[in-house]
Structure 1
């Protein structure tokens, strides 16, 4: 062995160097292995951490997927509810619009009814005023009728006046001739187209045409009746005067009686009724107003 050597060095020394070299290599390999093992351990631990994180992430992902599915289900439910609410809202909006239109229609109807009520109230108020005016006219007409009835009664009692209806209105007087109080004097008048026409006069008196023209002009029918009675009384007075004159000339005094002076005064036989508000012996006012052609005489004619 001593003879074995490696080149210039002996074999033991070479073996020692080789062993040292191997030991150094082994030491390097061990260090490298330790470093690699440590690095691998670190990598393994890191991989485990990553794997754990990955597994945790997977779990979180599963949870998130579950939450997502739940969220999607809730969203679908909310969308369904929203759709139903939208349809309900649209229906309610439509119903509200219809109710608004109906309210406007009702308001218009109420306004129209108020206008009608106001119009009816105005008409009723005017009708009440017209009714009051008619009642006042009726009271005045009744008062005038009472006055007319009183006047007719006074004429009938004091002057022997009678009014008879027929083809026209016939006015009959008596109590004109004191010797024959029941002797009748009459005339008949008819109203045609607001014009007085004389149908009959017994006995016929003078100036009757002028009297008709005057009454058609003035419409003073009471005055016409009064003048006609005065005309009858005057005609009777003329007849009496002629009879008395003839009797005086013939010497017959039988016609001249104690009552003749009274008979010779027409104003005593026919009291004047022209004074306004004058009273007769019976205490009744004599009429002074004229008769309207379209009212009183037509009422008498029926």
Structure 2
């Protein structure tokens, strides 16, 4: 029996099988590569999504923390408000008691001080009047003793009306400081003038400064 043709068929069959196996292997490699690429892409997307989820979770956590802090702060403010309201409700009663106590103390203090002030006032006014005496005539100035203060009256200031009077009331306190309780016309920088005379003790300068300020007022009126 001649087996040559059979052997040829077998060889051809093997060749076709090898070709099919190679084709299948190549197709499988392409499929595997495509699958791996898709898997890598999906893995990248998953990682990005996971990172985004983490960011959103952190943002949500931060927001919740801020909300909790705000709520805690608000609770504290509400507690303070309740405390303040409670204190406000008690305030009239406390004020009434405090006022009654202060009135009693003030009456007692006034009674004690009245005797002392009456004696001191005369001494202080005399001391102040003595300081004024030296500057009165040269400045067109006269003064009047009114209780515990001295009223200064300037003239010869307003060129259009030399007889016009400019006045201020000056008191010398027991601690040897000056206070002004009346001024006509008003002097804008009275506080600074008083601060300066009380700092330096330059009474004559203060009187001249008051005359100068009155002259400015006369020129601007």
**Structure 1 length as normaliser, TM-score?**
0.31
Rg bigger for which structure?
A: 1
More helix by share: 2
**Structure 2 length as normaliser, TM-score?**
0.40
Q: Which structure carries more relative contact order (alpha carbon 8 Å, separation 6+)? A: 1
